[in-house]
């Protein structure tokens, strides 16, 4: 019994230390974002890597999410003669939940892993130590540009994903289920309200912060060479996934059941 309690206590302490370290990095990042000089070239480079290079996979996943939503809802809606409500269901589901969450998970898998691996490689080859030796703050030079880029591009990617997802539902509804083009457009915009869109976009800002802080934190504390880089990359992605799902549930509860 005693080893079990000791193991649980050690894990609890490690978890608290992890949260504390990530929070400190988050606060330091916010501080250095506001301190000139601003690394505009690095920021735009990261925006291109995070946003533009993620467009193909976001297009693919969002389109087929819309297609699947339309098909799955049609299976039940057809039984009660309510096919005309499929556009409303697709648009609300995509903008409130599926668009922001799926986009964040895709970016966490693609970009978060890349950030953790890149910073981890710099850590084990002592490039981060070299920056400190040259009086260049690693958080300012490495973390802040990635944070700004993620904070800017993830909401834009989510808007794009929402549009593509609704278009996927449109293709199924119009060309497979026989709804008219005008009816799909009307039912889509009749159901949507600004709260649906804005809550989804607000959550992407939280998701962007999670992806950047977790990935950079894991990358900057790597030890043990190439094996450590691989472990940090895996841990960054898994931790980001878990925190994205938890924060999504929390903010959904706040927006729709408390406020």
> Other CB atoms closer than 10 Å to residue 244's CB: what's the count?
23
pLDDT of residue 190: 83
Question: Looking at residue 126, what DSSP letter applies?
Answer: T
Largest Cα–Cα distance in the chain? Answer: 70
* pLDDT recorded at residue 182: 87
pLDDT given at position 101: 92
pLDDT digits (tens, 9 = 90+) for 176-219: 888 888 888 888 888 888 888 888 899 999 999 999 999 999 88
Long-range Cβ contacts of 51-60 (<8 Å, 24+ apart): 51/149, 51/152, 51/153, 51/156, 51/157, 54/106, 54/107, 54/110, 54/111, 54/153, 54/157, 55/157, 55/160, 57/106, 57/110, 58/103, 58/106, 58/157, 58/160, 58/161, 58/164, 59/160, 59/164
**Cα→Cα distances 175→152, 161, 168, 187, Å:** 35, 21, 11, 16
214: closest CA among 234, 200, 199, 197? Answer: 234
pLDDT at 1 (0 to 100): 65
Closest CA to 140 of 218, 33, 22: 33
CB-CB neighbours of 68 under 10 Å: 16
Q: H-type helices in the chain, by residue range?
A: 2-33, 40-50, 55-77, 86-93, 99-107, 113-124, 127-133, 138, 144-175, 181-191, 194-220, 225-253
Rounded distance, CA 168 to CA 39, Å?
Answer: 38
Instruction: Return the pLDDT at 259.
Output: 59
Q: For residue 126, what are its two tokens?
A: 């002592």
The answer to whether the CB of 221 falls within 8 A of the CB of 123 is: yes
Q: What's the confidence (pLDDT) of residue 227?
A: 81
Residues of the chain with pLDDT under 50: none
The predicted pLDDT at position 193 comes to 81
Q: Does the predicted TM-score (pTM) go above 0.85?
A: yes
Both tokens of 246, joined, read 């938890």
């Amino acid at each position: 019994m005693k080893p079990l309690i000791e193991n649980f206590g050690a894990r609890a302490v490690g978890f608290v230390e992890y949260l504390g370290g990530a929070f400190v990095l988050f606060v330091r990042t916010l501080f250095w974002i506001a301190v000139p000089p601003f690394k505009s070239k690095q920021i735009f480079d990261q925006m291109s890597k995070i946003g533009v290079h993620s467009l193909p996979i976001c297009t693919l996943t969002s389109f087929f999410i819309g297609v699947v939503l339309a098909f799955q809802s049609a299976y039940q809606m057809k039984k009660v003669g309510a096919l005309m409500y499929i556009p409303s269901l697709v648009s609300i589901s995509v903008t409130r939940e599926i668009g922001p969450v799926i986009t964040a998970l895709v970016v966490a898998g693609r970009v978060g892993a890349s950030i953790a691996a890149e910073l981890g490689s710099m850590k084990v080859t002592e490039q981060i130590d070299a920056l400190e030796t040259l009086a260049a703050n690693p958080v300012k030079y490495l973390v802040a540009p990635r944070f700004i880029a993620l904070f800017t591009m993830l909401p834009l990617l989510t808007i794009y994903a929402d549009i593509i997802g609704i278009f996927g539902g449109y293709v199924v509804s119009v060309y497979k289920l026989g709804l008219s083009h005008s009816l799909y457009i009307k039912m889509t915009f009749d159901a949507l309200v600004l709260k649906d869109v804005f809550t989804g976009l607000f959550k992407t800002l939280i998701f962007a912060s999670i992806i950047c802080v977790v990935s950079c934190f894991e990358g900057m504390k790597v030890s043990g060479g190439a094996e450590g880089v691989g472990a940090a990359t895996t841990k960054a992605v898994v931790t980001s996934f878990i925190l994205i799902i938890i924060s999504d549930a929390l903010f959904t509860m706040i927006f729709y059941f408390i406020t």
